[in-house]
Amino acid sequence: MPLYFLVLLLIAASTSGFERAATVLLLMSPMLVFFKALMAVSSWVFHEDMHGKVVLITGASSGIGEHIAYEYAQKGARLVLVARRESLLKEVAHRAMAKGASDVKVIIGDVQKENDCKRFVDETVKKFGRLDHLVNNAGVAHSFFYTDTKDLRSLTSTFDTTFWGDVYMSYFALPHLRRTSGKILVIASAASWLPYPRQSIYNSAKSATLAFFDTLRVEVGDAIGITIVMPGWVESEITKGKVIHEDAAMWIDQTQRDIHVGPVPVISVTECARAAVKGVIRGSHYVTVPFYYSIFLLYRVFAPEVLLWAFRLVFVINPNKPSSKKILEATEANKILYPESIQKSD
Q: What phi-psi label fits residue 114: left (phi over 0), alpha (psi between -120 and 50 degrees) or beta? A: alpha
Q: At how many degrees (to 10) do helices 86-98 and 63-74 cross? A: 30
Let me know if 146 is a catalytic residue.
Answer: no
**Residue tagged active-site, from 70, 202, 293, 338:** 202
CA–CA gap between residue 207 and residue 127 (Å, rounded): 34
Residues 95, 70: contact at Cβ < 8 Å? yes
CA–CA gap between residue 274 and residue 136 (Å, rounded): 16
CA–CA gap between residue 134 and residue 256 (Å, rounded): 33
Q: 339 — phi, psi (to 5°)? A: -60, 150
Q: 2 — phi, psi (to 5°)? A: -60, -35
Kindly report whether the peptide bond that precedes residue 290 is cis, defined as omega within 30 degrees of 0.
yes
Alpha helices in the chain (DSSP H): 2-14, 17-45, 63-74, 86-98, 114-128, 153-159, 165-180, 200-220, 237-240, 254-261, 269-281, 294-302, 304-311, 323-331, 334-337
Q: What kind and span of H or E run contains 164?
A: none
Residues 193, 296: contact at Cβ < 8 Å? yes
- 141: DSSP letter: -
Q: How far is CA 75 from CA 164, 294, 329, in A?
A: 30, 29, 43
Alpha helices in 165-199 (DSSP H): 165-180
- Helix, coil or strand: residue 80: strand
Residues that are catalytic: 202
